[in-house]
Amino acid sequence: MSLFRISVFAFVLSCAATVPAAAQSQPSTDELGKLYVSGQLDAAIALGQQALQAPGEQPAVNMFVGRAYADKQQFQTAIPYLTKSLASASSSADVKAWSEAYLGTCYYALQEYPKAKQSFEQVVAAAATKNVTAYAAKRLGMLRAQEMAGNWKLLETAHFRFHVQAPENLGVAPEAYVAAHEQAFETENRFFRATLPRKIDYYVWDERAPASQVLSQNLGFTVPEFLTIHVLKNQTKGHETAHMLVAYGLHPAQQSRLINEGIAVCFDQTTRNRMQLARQATGGTADIWKMWAQPQSYSDEQLYPIGGALLEYLLAHGSEADVKQLLQVQTPELGRQLFSKQIAAFEKELAKPDAGVVAQPASLPGTTPGSPASPVKLAASLVNAAVERNNTADKFYKVLILVNGVPVPAAQLQQINPQKIRDVKVLKTKAEMQAYTEVELNGIVLVQVEG
């Protein structure tokens, strides 16, 4: 999730008006704000440091530099700049508010929760602007949820601290729930290669409306700088984790809603037919470049399935290195440079009712009876999400397991009642396996299960 950089445009010009006349030869606050909003954090810091060599308090400059350091998760470094901005007598109301809000963010990330709460409460009470008030209210809501969760069930795995509001309503045993999410993390991180500074605090809410009242925002969402995720109990186990792994594995400088949500849908650890869902959401017609550049013109019901199908398609028809580069700088300009041909082909595939079919989802354990139809070509992302690899370099693959045509991890296969397995076939030759996927494999196991 972004840190509301886009809101800076609402007050860059007013900030520029606060720059002393003696500093007019120095870099302007307008220039600094544009660098910050565009995600060029290092350049913004360098320009800001140059501007701060001039005499005067320059609260807006200190605010931008502090925010840039905070966005780079250098929270201790950010605090002095934000404090100077906040203490300046010449600081405008909106500059003070954003400085205080980001000071709260730094304290929150450093786990100094009472200080963070005080900062956010002051910003909400001041109500300087709509954006900064909403920013502080959401983080204040997370602190209140954290206090509330002291009475929830706590379960820990290698990468998570799960706070479960109503474990009896999960639909599965809490231990099975957290084990499945830990497995999803391991599976996804084979792609993202993220290293986290500590465990993720994963809050599992029982009902949506009460959660929204406490949090001042809708479920689910991820705040990478706080290593915190909030979800409804039945949300897919991979979506929000993917957001966290993108942040810590690829460190995106710029984000687009189409691409940012698309990668989370692509890696949500379901076996849904994403191309089919994208067709249903759009009627088979979509202008990808317009959706990319103007996401505000489209609903989430369109952006999410289109983004998920698009990222799945790019992984299947482009290089992993190019996809990762795109996730780091999610601009349409880079998209045209890397994937113009693939996106044109994707739009054509989207318009074909019988094209791009992948295996239909099944409810495991115990899928619907009947043998699968003729071999279906599986997208590389589906294969990569399920297959077991045989070395840490991640260059070679072991065995893909298909249960009634659906790719599943070995752990999921073990959940099936053996008495329901009706047939098992092992494919070993390259010719046999190419009918199912272009991904290099050592073998494919076809498992037929009755309901």
Residue 102, domain extent:
5-144
Residues 85 and 91 sit within 8 Å (Cβ to Cβ): yes
Give the separation between CA 449 and CA 365, rounded to whole angstroms: 9
Q: Please give the pLDDT value at position 164.
A: 97
Whether residue 206 is found in the same domain as residue 323: yes
| Confidence band, pLDDT 50/70/90 cuts, at residue 418 | confident
CA distances from 447 to 75, 221, 269, 297, 440 (A): 51, 36, 20, 44, 20
Residues 239 and 284 sit within 8 Å (Cβ to Cβ): no
Whether residue 160 is found in the same domain as residue 90: no
Whether residue 158 is found in the same domain as residue 257: yes
Is 366 inside any structural domain? no
Tokens matching residue 178: 């957290």
Nearest to 119 by CA among 104, 131, 130, 107: 104
- Decide if pLDDT at 44 tops 80: yes
Q: Please give the pLDDT value at position 4.
A: 42
The length of the chain in residues reads: 451
Q: Find where tokens 């920013």 sit.
A: 135
Q: At what angle do helices 257-266 and 300-317 cross, to 10 degrees?
A: 70
Q: Which of 350, 370, 403 is the last residue of a domain?
A: 350
The mean pLDDT value for 92-116 works out to 95
Count other Cβ atoms within 10 Å, centred on residue 258: 27
Whether residue 318 is found in the same domain as residue 279: yes
Nearest to 355 by CA among 290, 432, 274, 446: 274
Q: Please give the pLDDT value at position 419.
A: 73
CA contacts within 13 A on the Cβ side of 367: 25
How far is Cα of residue 15 from the mean position of the Cα atoms in its chain?
Answer: 31
Q: Is 246 helix (H, G, I), strand (E, B) or coil?
A: helix
Is 372 inside any structural domain? no
| Confidence band, pLDDT 50/70/90 cuts, at residue 388 | low
Is 324 inside any structural domain? yes
Whether residue 177 is found in the same domain as residue 219: yes
Whether residue 205 is found in the same domain as residue 275: yes
Give 274-291 pLDDT, tens digit per residue: 998 999 888 888 999 999
Whether residue 37 is found in the same domain as residue 176: no
Q: Please give the pLDDT value at position 396.
A: 46
Q: Please give the pLDDT value at position 87.
A: 92
Is 245 inside any structural domain? yes
Mean residue pLDDT of the chain comes to 85
For 37-51, 122-136, 342-356, 404-418, which range has the lowest pLDDT when averaged over its residues? 404-418
Contacts of 446 (CB under 8 A, 6+ apart): 372, 402, 423, 424, 425, 426, 427
CATH of the domain at 111: 1.25.40.10
Give 355-375 pLDDT, tens digit per residue: 434 333 333 333 333 444 457
* Torsional sign, CA 48, 53, 54, 55: positive
- Decide if pLDDT at 321 tops 70: yes
The pTM of this model reads 0.71
**Based on the structure, what is the number of domains in the chain?**
3
- Decide if pLDDT at 21 tops 60: no
Whether residue 197 is found in the same domain as residue 344: yes
- Decide if pLDDT at 177 tops 50: yes
CA distances from 23 to 36, 276, 326 (A): 20, 58, 38
| Confidence band, pLDDT 50/70/90 cuts, at residue 9 | very low
Whether residue 341 is found in the same domain as residue 265: yes
Is 365 inside any structural domain? no
Whether residue 305 is found in the same domain as residue 410: no
Q: Please give the pLDDT value at position 423.
A: 82
Q: Which of 89, 124, 144 is the last residue of a domain?
A: 144
Instruction: Name the residue with higher pLDDT: 403 or 143.
Output: 143
DSSP state of 443: E
Give 145-168 pLDDT, tens digit per residue: 999 999 999 999 999 999 999 999
Is 369 inside any structural domain? no
Q: Which of 88, 122, 144 is the last residue of a domain?
A: 144
Instruction: Name the residue with higher pLDDT: 167 or 408.
Output: 167
Whether residue 276 is found in the same domain as residue 173: yes
Nearest to 29 by CA among 101, 89, 92, 120: 92
Is 363 inside any structural domain? no
The mean pLDDT value for 424-435 works out to 85
Is 355 inside any structural domain? no
Whether residue 200 is found in the same domain as residue 219: yes
Give the separation between CA 433 and CA 170, rounded to whole angstroms: 38
